[in-house]
Structure 1
Amino acid sequence: MISKTIINSGIDALEVTFTVKGAPELIKELKAESSGVIIGAGTVLTVVQAEDALKAGADFIVSPCIIEEVGAFFRERGIFCSMAAGTSTEVYNSYNHGSDVVKLFPGEYMNPGIIKAIKAPMPFIDIMPTGGVDHKNIKSWFDNGAFAIGVGGYLTKNIDENNLDILNPDAKF
C-alpha cells in the first residue's frame, strides 16, 4: 500500500483524500498502525465527510475550496483546517471561514510570486501551495513566503503496488 510505504520511508504527515474509496477506514487504520504520524483527511466537501474524518481520527482536514460550514465545524472543535483559494479575496475568505493555513490551489496555474503579493497586505495569513510543486520550483515557493507546501501528487506520480520500491528512504527530493 502506497500510504504505508510513504510512512515507512520517513514521511510523518500524510493526507488521505476522500476521493480514495474507504477513506475514513484507511485513516483509522493508518492512525492505529502509525504512532506519531499525523494523518489527515483531504478533499473534504461536506460536514458529513468532516464528521466521518473526525470519527476516523483525522488530525487535520483539507478542502479544495471554501466551504463555510466545514470550516466552522473544525474551528468549533479546534481541529486544523486548510481550505483552498486561488485569489486574494478567496485567500481572505478561506482564512475568515476557518483555515489555519490557506491552501493555494491549484498551484500549477500560479506563479510563486502570488504568495508575496497576497502577504504584502495580509501578512497574518499562512499560505501553502499544492498542485504543481516540485523539485524545480519548491525553493521559489518558499522564497516568496510559503508557510508549507503540499507535494502528494509529485511524490506518488506513476506509483502503484508494483513499484513501491521507488518510494524509499534513500530517494532524493
Structure 2
Amino acid sequence: MDLIAELGRLRLIPVITLHDATHAERLGDTLLTAGLPCAEITLRTPAALDAIRRLRQACPTLRLAAGTVLTGAQADQAMDAGADFVVSPGLNPTTVRHCLQAGIPIIPGINNPSQIELGLELGLSLLKFFPAEPSGGLPMLKALAAVYPVRFMPTGGISADNLGSWLAQPSVVACGGSWLVTPELLTAGDWTEIRRRITAALALCGR
C-alpha cells in the first residue's frame, strides 16, 4: 500500500474514540455513505480493537487506522483486528523499528526538528505533526517543511475553521480531525450530524 498516495486521495481522516463497539457497523455505513471511506480508531478504550474488527467485517472497503499506538504489541493487535496502518502520538524508535520489521505501515508523531531527523534516520517519509495547533500551528509546520524532505499529517486542533489552511500546504498529505465524529455524537446516535460534518469538511477538501 502506498500510504502517502492513499492519504493524499482521502485528504481527511476522522480520528474516532469509540466507547461502545456496537456503534461500529452504523459508523462504517455513515462514513461510506457520506463519502469518506476511512477512520482512525484510537486505542484509548477497551472497545477499540473490537470496533476495528467489526468495522473491517462490516465495511471491508474502509481504510482503517489504529491510533494512539504506543507499543509494538499494540501494533500487532491492531493489525490482527483488521487495521491497514497504525498511528502514534510520538516517535518511539523501538515501536517504529518493530513495525518496519513486521511490515506494518506506521505514522509516528513529531513536533520538532530532532524528532523529524530521527524519523528520517529510521527511513520514514510521512510523519504526524502532533499536536498541530499547540505545537506552533501553520508557522511551525512551514518552518519544518522548508528544511526537511518529509510529508506531514497534522492532527490536534484541526477543525472546520482551519482545515482549508492546513490542506493548502504542499507538505501536508492529509489532516486528522476529531471534530467529525465525537464521542458525544456517537453516544447520542446522531448520525445525521456526523454526516453533515463530514459533508461540510469534504467540501473544504475540494471533494
Compute the TM-score of the two structures, normalised by the length of structure 1. 0.87
Taking a change above 3 Å as real, the CA distance of residues 68 and 108 of structure 1, as seen in their structure-2 partners, is same
1:55 deviation in Å? 1.2
User: Taking structure 1 as reference, are residues 160 and 57 closer, same or farther at Cα in structure 2, changes over 3 Å only?
Assistant: closer
Matched, 1:172 2:195: no
Q: CA deviation at 1:77?
A: 3.0
Q: Which has the higher helix share?
A: 2
CA RMSD, 1 decimal: 2.0
Higher relative contact order (CA 8 A, sep 6+): 2
State whether residues 80 and 99 of structure 1, in contact with CA within 8 Å, keep that contact through their aligned partners in structure 2: no
Question: What displacement does 1:63 show?
Answer: 0.5
Instruction: Report how many residues are paired.
Output: 171
SS in 1 for 2:153: strand
User: Does the 8 Å contact 1:95/1:102 carry over to 2?
Assistant: no
Amino acid at match of 2:140: I
What SS class does the counterpart of residue 69 from structure 1 fall into? helix
Q: Which runs of 4+ in 1 moved over 6 A?
A: none
**Aligned-pair CA distance for 1:17:** 0.9
1:159 maps to a residue whose letter is: L
CA distance in 2, matches of 1:7, 1:92: 37
Contact 2:72 2:99 in 1 (8 A): no
Q: Distance in 2 between matches of 1:154 and 1:95?
A: 31
Note the residue ranges of structure 1 that are not aligned, 5 or more in a row: none
- Paired position in structure 1 for 2:186: 160
Q: Distance in 1 between matches of 2:68 and 2:96?
A: 13
Task: List gaps (5 residues or longer) in structure 2.
Answer: 1-22, 202-207
Cα deviation for residue 98 of structure 1 reads: 5.6
Instruction: Give per-residue Cα distances to partners, 1:77-115, cap 9 Å, x unaligned.
Output: 333211101112112223433645211111121221222
Alpha-carbon shift at residue 37 of structure 1 (Å): 0.9
